[in-house]
A and B are shown apart, each in its own frame.
Chain A
Amino acid sequence: SAVISQKPSRDICQRGTSLTIQCQVDSQVTMMFWYRQQPGQSLTLIATANQGSEATYESGFVIDKFPISRPNLTFSTLTVSNMSPEDSSIYLCSVEDTTGWSYNEQFFGPGTRLTVL
């Protein structure tokens, strides 16, 4: 399977600021996703990052708050904008290669643990 990395691994941020999280894969993948896992909770899909087009957001998540980029088949970023303490969470990217090695299976990166003060 592919090696997935995320940067930063953790951060502590002030209210009102923004943080951009990077997700890098060591091979090309067709699908990349961003999830949030709030303390003690399960995973919630934020959006699907589409290469060459706008991200597709799930209900309750908007582009102004969580802008996403997907410039190529190995990289994506998620920005958490105008942060509040309620944004404190673990943010995870996942990948799925619908054309080959991980058809119909998603694999997760190590996550970014964000604390907003």
Chain B
Amino acid sequence: QKEVEQNSGPLSVPEGAIASLNCTYSDRGSQSFFWYRQYSGKSPELIMSIYSNGDKEDGRFTAQLNKASQYVSLLIRDSQPSDSATYLCAVRSGAGSYQLTFGKGTKLSVIP
């Protein structure tokens, strides 16, 4: 059973702070890792993908991957109230699988 675990939150941070979202996964063979943002009543929006150990930066977002620890995180710098949403971690196994396994998501609230 492939599992993806996230703290459900809510995670509250003040505007301008760094928000840190964490995710662990059970399948050691996982190859691809994704962060989706989902606003209330909307569908998930892909914001970051990461495939190699280390950091990947895109604007205010940084994804970090540590395959040895089976851990992936998302940092949001200079958090804005518009970042308030649920963040879903998704993991894809290797070997030609297209299936994404999603965590239950972490709800982030950025307080003005």
Residues of A within 8 A of B (CB): 31, 33, 41-45, 48, 58, 90, 92, 96, 104-111
Contacts and interface: CB of A to CB of B under 8 A. Distances in A.
Given A42-B104, A42-B105, A48-B98, A106 B43 contact: no
Given A96-B98, A104-B49, A42 B43 contact: no
Per DSSP, are chain A's interface residues mostly helix, strand or loop, or mixed? strand
Interface of B: 32, 34, 36, 42-46, 49, 51, 88, 90, 92, 98-100, 102-105
Contact of A109 (B43, B49, B92, B99): B43
Given A42-B105, A105-B34, A111-B42, 4 more contacts: A31-B98, A106-B98, A106-B100, A108-B43
Per DSSP, are chain B's interface residues mostly helix, strand or loop, or mixed? strand
Contacts of A43: 44, 88, 90, 100, 102
B93 to A, nearest CB: 12
A108 B38 CA distance: 11
A45 B99 contact: yes
